[in-house]
Structure 1
Amino acid sequence: MSSRHRSTPVVRAAVVAGVVGLAFAGVSAPAATAQDRVVRADRAAARACHDALLPPGTAGVDRREVASPVDGLVQARLAPGEGREGDWDLAVFDEGTGGVVAASSALRSRELAESFVTKDQRLVVQACRYGGPARTATLGVDFLALTPRGTPTAAERAEVVRVETPRPEDKGTLLGLDLDLTEKGDATGVEVVLAGDADRETLRGSGLEYATVDADLSRTSREDAARDRAYASRGRASGLPSGRTSYRHLYEYEHELKELARGNPRLVRAFTLAEPTPEGRDVVAVEIAKDVDNAADGKAVNLLMGVHHAREWPAGEHAIEWAHELVNGYHRDNSIRSLVARTRNVVVPIVNPDGFSISREAEPNGDFTRFDYEMKRKNCRADDSPPQLRTGVCKANPGGAVRGTDPNRNYAGFWGGAGAGVTWSSETFRGSAPFSEPETRNIRELVSRRAVTNLITLHTYGNLVLRPPGVASVRAPLEEPVVKALGDRMASRNGYDSIPSWGLYDTTGTTEDWSYWATGGFGFTFEINPGGFHPPYEDAVVAEYVGAAPAAGAGKGGNRAAFLDMLANAADPAAHSTLVGVAPEGHRLKVHKTFRTPTSPVRQPDGSTAPPIQVTDAVESTYSSTGGRFTWAVNPSTRPYVAGRYGRDPQAPPQAAIPLANPPGVPAENTTFPGNPVAERIPFTVRALPAADNGRFDVSVSWTSTSTDWDLFVMDAAGQVVAQSASGGTNSEVATLLDPPAGEYTAVLVNYDQVDPANPDDWAAGRVEFSSPVPPTYGVEEAYTLTCTDRQGRLVGLTDVFVDRGETVDVGEVCTDSARAGKQRRR
């Protein structure tokens, strides 16, 4: 199906010029009375308030007619009335066309419907009582006058370029430029958005090489929007679980989630996360499980979330389709029914509703200027921007779309380090402190209190499955082989590359770099699709989800199959920890752990660093006993951050060094390798056990003058580049490969530049040196405190529990005094 698009004209605006309060029945009407502000309905009707403008007197509906006194914004809000809170929704319609202008459909009576309007436009504000006991709610309508902007100048033309970063220091240089980096990249380059001439000059001045990928993002944005309209207009259902054919609006997400709950009351529970957003919006989620209201039943919890970044619309679409998948599958597919019965599934489609609503409702400019709200990335926090830019609402303010914090740089995991902006205007601004934002505190509270064993956070774009760590200098966790295997399995379904997050570029403060290291629950980021932040729906949502052309997962199952793999992992006791024991009916068990973890040394705007911040976390899980023997899924008691780091003990000495013989002659200069294959090739062999155990090899070459430039590549037997070194201004190159598989390799020497081709400076010394693997490091072992309280809340049992991943620990009759005698329950 397709969504209804708003019919009102759009005012592109930047600066709030004034605010006009609630005025019913036209511009000249007197100020609204307290009675005018109360909307009433004697009974509820479960309908989509935004679907249609309903006639006066319709059951469950109250309405007000208003006229806009300004060119600018309308903000309609609902707040709870007197007495108990219910569920009221809100929509604003154009009176003449009946088209929806703005709407809000969250789970309570706290709604914000906001969009652009024109002077004298006649509107109908429609309040709908969806459910609950509240017969009234309080309505407020404000109009904000805005100063129009002109169209972008030629200097504001936005483009995408691929910046070549063959060396780690190149990525460091790129990160330091504070440009808008996408998540599409590999070992040798990253795609970057250049919003205008200032960005182009910054990149040119860096000395990094780059090539244009998309010369006109504004044109691409308009073409994508036109293709979306054509796809939706065909009137045929897609292959998605919902049949959807177009990107949803925020109010559609909210309504759809509560409709899933209303239609499946024992299977689906819609709920509101702990904190509202900076603009006052609720964050809505659903939980899907057999006997869904019994949240403390001891099952493993699988969490899928989307849209930390406002412009990444496919992330929310994949998340809500997963909710439909689970509901449909529970009723129709025995394998999905079995997985749902053994797990609890939480879906948060829109983590950042403020930013998403702004991006989704903006016109498709694609120019990436400060006032291109469609391409807003961050949330709506204004406090960290300069005082003169804190005025105005998020949708139209003097700071523009760049005002706010990047939620996916605001978690505590290695916060403050590389890969996050330190100033308010950076697209990756980390915020004033770890968890300074309500959006990240919401996810922290959810993960910490629900013992989330499996987590996927969805983003665009790049065709990647990313796993911790996000920083190259942080060694992989002890569980690296297990985490990698799970990432590789999911990548085999969607056709993405499975790599550690730092393999793209260093990032700090990301979701899974906190959730995994602090709680032990598996965490991954998916970067969906190869072609943009919200490219055509048919490709970025339908094809990527179901695994159809042109997606990389065509014929492999797509993200649907990858999500199912993650769910199967959540249902597998070998992938988490299990406590068993005996407890009386009505008693409540809880495992709890409080700890502190340091952030990175905190980078400062002047280039200096401050000491790390110690962040206190508390994680817990509860189980409500039904009497007798229980089985309870939890995360390992020792968090990966302190458990140690991955490595392996040598099984044999490393291989002896291999000299590389320089072939006769000097190849012609070549600046376009591998497009131009001209080079010198020297084969060598890496030996296997029991002859040698190689933890790494370093291929090195050198020559005389730093003005000469040779580049070095290492290829495996299949002809794939597995290591490289292509720096300039040196007289040597070193290419490194960790844990090299045994087999045949080739060192490839490319003559990139000679100062005097008539008298070439040939490389003279070449060598392959081998090193032993780095042994693992082991840290401390942590325990949970396990308590049991009776029906009256009295503490009747207490013990410490140590439990590893894949391990089952019997805590016995923990609710009796006998538990105190053996206080430490160990394997």
Structure 2
Amino acid sequence: MAQRFLRKWKVAGSAALLAVTGAAVAGQTEASAAEQRTLTAAQSQVRKCHGAVAKGQRGVAGFEIKAPSTGLVRVQLDPSNARNKDEDWDVAVFEKASGALVAASAGLRSYEIADGNVTSGATLWVQGCRYRGDARTVSAAVTFVGTSAATARAASDPAQLVAVDTPTREAKQKLNKQELDVTESATESTVDVVLHGKADADKLKGAGFTFTVKIPNLADHLKKTEEADKAYRQRTPRSDLPSGRTEYRRLADYDYEMKELARRNPLLVKAFALPHRSVEGRDITGVEIAINAANKADGKPIFFNMGVHHAREWPAGESAMEWATDLVNGFGREARTTRLVAQTRNIVVPIVNPDGFSISRQATPLGDFTTFDYEMKRKNCQPDDAPPQYQTGLCPANPAGRLRGVDLNRNYGGFWGGPGASTNWSSDTYRGSEPFSEPEAQNIRELVSSRAVTNLITNHTYGPLVLRPPGVYATGQAVDEPLLAAVGKSMTDHNGYANIPGYQLYDTTGTTEDWTYWVTGGLGYTFEIGNAGFHPPFADAVIGEYLGRAPSTGAGKGGNREAYFAMLESTADSAHHSVIKGEAPPGHTLRVHKEFQTPTSPVIQPDGSTAPPIMYTDVIDNTIRPVGPFTWHVNPSTRPYVAGRYGRYPTAPPQPAQSLANPPGQPGENTSGDPLSDPREVVPFTIGGTPQYDNGSVRVRMEWTDPANDWDLFILNEQDEVVSQAASFGTNYEEALLIEPVPGNYRAVLVNYDQVDDTAYDDWTSLVVTGESPKPPVPGVTEAYTLTCERPNGSIAAVRQVIVGRGQTVDVGDFCRRRKR
């Protein structure tokens, strides 16, 4: 059978999902006025503040408060009035009677926001913990937001997950316009859709779609996932993960573990907060792992591994955090880990979207994917693009529910504004008001632009896929396509995922790796982890996928752990990026700099028309502070956007068109979607190769008479693998395309999917195989870095232009001692 491919797709038109919003607004109470308190602790103490109630212990301060209503409690720390702006206070909220944790926050500084659910009349203990720093006090504000049962959808029909038959790009685009809850999961010929009742099912059928029910009751399915996680925790005191964890982390767990990695390994790990806080004001935290981790300007190649652009994709953050823990645990103990950590620098940001993730992880499960099913939130918390009536309220309790915000993985500048992203504020793929409008995306942009990130993985769920640029078919293959495909294969050999360019199913724009690759030249990929949902049982989605255990596709192959190590080997390989070498006096700083503009896609407007592209400016600015001889690992000076497109010149003519005969007989209808099951018709053909023919692609086209009838076409190789297919509807032809096909024997499988009742049999009339010449490469332009040597006092000692390509090394010699030119 065909490899199962999944990719991000539009979720949720506003009409269907906002149907309950009126009731929700009517049932929602106003937020209480924030109650201000001051927390005071004479001394600091390293402590997991959300581990347990620690009343009266060193470094702890707190107070009791009673919940006035059932709903949300938010405790926010504000360091603005403290004497030391770099202090680190953490906060936790416990239910007094049971000691159960309600909410927590444990960032690197004191910009803490802890959200949790409470019941009316409950007495809470708000606990502040002075983790480090000289600040004896910090300000705490407590806010309650009451909610009523009206915010929860009372559905007579259970939410279902169905696979809608969408065998072509056109069919997917048609589905995209139906204002249904279309999920992120798709195959070559289907897209998964959440149906909220009979009306949604009738709408699909009325639009001419057919579908198969995959999960008849989503709420029951998610409840079983919770039960499986609970059972696993009870029988497993410690897992085989590097951290030993047995359940999904919450936001405070991530932040606390990162700063503890840094505290316990001060030479190897440096924890940091990215420059822009989230929309709600949270720090976005990461770690750097390297020998002498604090020396960011050491010139080593960088692997940047990040997770949770999309809030509900919990395994994405888990995988990144386990990778950081793995490197730290293995350094000095495992030869491979020690070697690679010594040769590279690793940056890990497990949670790019802390606001959204906190909401999803803390939410009361509903399982119906409706407006107030906060567990299924995908976006950040940006309110500004929503209509005014939906801009009020805290993000975890607002009148637009989970629909408020921007899809951060459609907000990057690379081809922003084009297909595969929504102009509708309530859609789960809403692109934002402009490229990089969101602080979370700005953080990643500035980090990548300033740090010469040579290799990048952004983790998502679910797939299983390793996606590479480009995400837009019209862009054409990247000039580095052979290398991108090879590095992709080195990873998919371990996790068993499909190794494909992002556009292979359909276009997406504004994605992370499309911006990072085309603008900086760093090798960027998206991992779509697993194949069972956004956050399936922990034992499968985290342990199985990371370590390569059943039922993951990487079982016995090493899983994502070994895939990440393959990426780290690529990072250490200077043939995969560029090198500048030379020597410099002590105290001098070398800088490579480049500033340029890049156009977005023609910008699709809400009415479907397009406006001209927007020009946005990027600045690449990387530094190194060497002492004597240096080797500096950078990305190529010529960015891929202007370096040309990959192709090749033909060495022979393409194979001429060959018409294939229709064998005797008329196969009956077959709606199974399986090209290996009968009834079907099989027609063999051969694709030739050099020196006689050079086929950059081969097109197989079948035709019949009446568009009301429906034939499907599958192309199989000698191993019975589907290498191409076409299964549209409403036409009288199917056309399958094979890209750079391997010469050999193939079979066209023709399936009679549907014949109009009470009419004459409409057999196919034509089947033609036509070779096409390869597309020649598109030449590009060459760009240079401006290389500057700065003296210790900041004055310029020397300037020159440096051109360096991928896999090249340029020796600039004793550059700083030369006169400026």
In the alignment, the residues of structure 2 paired with residue 200 and residue 719 of structure 1 have an alpha-carbon distance, to the nearest angstrom, of 35
In structure 2, C-alpha distance between the alignment counterparts of 1:227 and 1:634, rounded to whole Å: 46
Q: In 2, Cα distance between the equivalents of 1:645 and 1:110?
A: 45
How far apart are the structure 2 equivalents of 1:504 and 1:195? 26
User: Deviation at 1:369?
Assistant: 0.7
After TM superposition, give the deviation of residue 61 of structure 1 in Å.
1.1
Change (3 A) 1:242 1:383: same
CA 1:580–1:145 in structure 2 vs 1: closer, same or farther (change >3 Å)?
same
Which blocks of at least 5 consecutive residues in structure 2 are unaligned? 1-22
Aligned to 2:7: none
Deviates more, 1:194-203 or 1:715-724: 194-203
Hey, what's the Cα distance between the residues in 2 that align with 1:784 and 1:468?
24
**By how many angstroms is 1:669 displaced?**
3.0
Which TM-score applies when normalising by structure 1? 0.93
Report whether the alignment pairs 1:42 with 2:42: yes
Are residues 1:301 and 2:302 paired? yes
Show CA shifts across 1:476-526 (max 9, x none): 101111101111110110111111111233211111011111111011111
CA separation of 1:488/1:243 partners in 2, compared to 1, >3 Å: closer, same or farther? same
Deviations 1:369-400 (A, max 9, x none): 10001111111111111101111111011111
Cα distance in 2, alignment partners of residues 271 and 511 from structure 1: 21
For residue 395 of structure 2, give the secondary structure of its aligned residue in structure 1. coil
Distance 2:129 2:704 in 1: 77
Determine the structure 2 residue equivalent to 1:347: 348
Three-state SS of the structure 2 residue aligned to 1:17 is: coil
Corresponding residue for 2:76?
Answer: 77
* 1:22, distance to aligned residue in structure 2 (A): 4.9
Whether the aligned pair in 2 keeps the contact of 1:13 and 1:396 (CA below 8 Å) is no
Of residues 159-168 and 363-372 in structure 1, the stretch that sits farther from structure 2 once superposed is 159-168
Counterpart of 1:149 in 2: which secondary structure?
A: helix
1:193-237 deviation digits (Å, cap 9, x = unpaired)? 334455434433432322111111111111111111111122421
1:562 maps to 563
Give 1:532 shift.
Answer: 0.7
- Aligned pair count reads 795
Whole-angstrom CA distance in 2 between matches of 1:725 and 1:549: 32
State the distance in 2 between where 1:115 and 1:156 align.
29
Is the deviation greater in 734-743 or in 753-762? 753-762
Q: Distance in 2 between matches of 1:422 and 1:297?
A: 42
What does residue range 617-656 of structure 1 map to in structure 2 within 5 Å? 617-626=618-627, 628-656=628-656
- Show the 5 A alignment for 1:347-426: 347-426=348-427
The aligned residue for residue 262 of structure 1 is 263
Counterpart for residue 667 of structure 2: 667
- What is the 5 A alignment of 1:198-597? 199-597=200-598
Task: State whether residues 88 and 132 of structure 2, in contact with CA within 8 Å, keep that contact through their aligned partners in structure 1.
Answer: yes
Q: Is the 8 A contact 1:103 1:113 kept in 2?
A: yes
Answer whether contact 1:695 1:773 (CA < 8 A) is retained.
Answer: yes
> What code does the residue aligned with 1:620 have?
D
Q: Deviations over 1:615-673 (max 9, x none)?
A: 111112110021x2110000011111111111111011112222211222322233334
Aligned equivalents of 1:212, 1:324: Cα separation in 2? 40
Given that residues 190 and 504 in structure 1 are in contact (C-alpha distance below 8 angstroms), is that contact kept between their aligned partners in structure 2?
A: no
Does the 8 Å contact 2:268/2:292 carry over to 1? yes
Shift of 1:247: 0.6
TM-fit CA distance, 1:13 = 7.6
Q: Is the 8 A contact 2:796 2:820 kept in 1?
A: no
Letter of the structure 2 residue corresponding to residue 432 of structure 1? S
1:19 to 7, 19, 31: 31
After the TM superposition, which of the residue ranges 404-413 and 763-772 deviates more from structure 2?
Answer: 763-772
Provide the C-alpha distance between the structure 2 equivalents of 1:754 and 1:423, rounded to a whole number of angstroms.
39
Residues 49-83 of structure 1: CA distance to partner in whole angstroms, max 9, x if unpaired? 11111122x21111111112222222111111332
Q: Show the counterpart of 1:599.
A: 600
Distance 1:297 1:184 in 2: 41
User: CA 1:671/1:51 → structure 2, altered by over 3 Å: closer, same or farther?
Assistant: closer
1:449 counterpart SS class: helix
Q: Report the secondary structure of 1:18's partner residue.
A: coil
Distance in 1 (alpha carbons) for counterparts of 2:594 and 2:180? 40
Q: CA shift at 1:716, angstroms?
A: 1.2
Contact 2:28–2:151 (Cα < 8 Å) also in 1: no
Does structure 2 conserve the Cα–Cα contact (< 8 Å) formed by 1:476 and 1:646?
yes
Q: Check 1:18–1:696 CA distance in 2 against 1; reply closer, same or farther (3 A cut).
A: same
| In structure 2, distance between residues paired with 1:199 and 1:412 | 35
Separation (CA, whole Å) in 2 of partners of 1:755 and 1:114: 58
Identical-pair percentage: 54
Greater CA drift, 172-181 or 300-309: 172-181
Q: Measure, in 2, the Cα distance between the counterparts of 1:179 and 1:304.
A: 33
Task: Quote how far apart the aligned CAs of 1:812 are.
Answer: 2.2
Q: Could you report, residue by residue, the CA deviation over 1:740-778 in whole angstroms, capped at 9, with x for unpaired residues?
A: 110001122223334477743332332211111111101
Q: Whole-Å Cα distance in 2 between the matches of residues 786 and 208 of structure 1?
A: 58
The 2-side partners of 1:756 and 1:233 are apart by: 57
Kindly tell me: are residues 715 and 133 of structure 1, through their superposed partners in 2, closer, same or farther at Cα, counting changes over 3 Å? same
Deviates more, 1:525-534 or 1:230-239: 230-239
Q: Secondary structure at the match of 2:597?
A: strand
Offset at residue 679 of structure 1 (A):
2.1
TM-score (norm 2): 0.94
Greater RCO structure (CA 8 Å; 6+ sep): 2
Cα distance, 1:113–1:150 mapped onto 2, change above 3 Å? closer
Q: Contact 1:590 / 1:788 at 8 angstroms: preserved in 2?
A: yes
Question: 1:819 Cα deviation (Å)?
Answer: 5.9
Asked if 1 retains the 8 angstrom alpha-carbon contact of 2:411 and 2:431, the reply is yes
| 1:700 positional shift | 2.0
Superposed CA RMSD in Å reads 1.8
Residue 313 of structure 1, CA deviation: 0.6
Deviations 1:302-350 (A, max 9, x none): 1111111111111111111001000011031011011001111111011
- Conserved in 1, the CA contact under 8 Å of 2:303 and 2:454? yes
Matches of 2:204 and 2:584, distance apart in 1: 64
One-letter code aligned to 2:42: D
Q: What is the letter of the counterpart of residue 727 of structure 1?
A: S
Cα deviation 1:528-564 (Å, max 9, x = unaligned): 1110111100100011101111111010000000000
Deviation at 1:165, TM superposition (A): 2.2
Distance 1:726 1:69, change over 3 A: closer
Aligned-partner SS, 1:53 = coil
Letter of the aligned partner of 1:67 in structure 2?
K
In 1, the alpha carbon distance for the partners of 2:93 and 2:542 equals 28
Task: Give, in angstroms, the shift of residue 300 of structure 1.
Answer: 0.6
1:33-62 Cα shifts (integer Å, max 9, x gaps): xxxx32222211001011111122x21111
Say if 1:156 and 1:367, in contact at 8 Å, map to a contact too: no
Please give the alpha-carbon distance, in whole angstroms, between the structure 2 residues aligned to 1:155 and 1:513.
43
Q: What is the letter of the counterpart of residue 129 of structure 2?
A: C
User: How many angstroms apart in 2 are the aligned matches of 1:432 and 1:62?
Assistant: 42
Show the counterpart of 1:62.
61
* Paired residue secondary structure (2:173): helix
Q: Summarize the Cα distance change of 1:486–1:194 in structure 2 as closer, same or farther, 3 Å threshold.
A: farther
Aligned to 1:28: none
Matched letter for residue 595 of structure 2: T
- Provide the rounded CA distance (Å) in 2 between the counterparts of 1:755 and 1:229: 52
Q: Name the aligned partner's letter for residue 31 of structure 2.
A: V
Structure 1, gaps ≥5 residues long: 1-11, 24-31, 821-827
8 Å CA contact 1:155–1:197 kept in 2: the answer is: no
- The answer to whether the Cα contact below 8 Å between 1:225 and 1:364 also exists between their aligned partners in 2 is no
| Partner residue in 2 for 1:683 | 684
Match of 1:189 in 2: 190
CA contact (8 A) 2:163 2:214 kept: yes
Map residues 802-813 of structure 1 onto 2, 5 A cutoff.
802-813=803-814
- Mapping for residues 719-734 of structure 1, pairs under 5 Å: 719-734=720-735
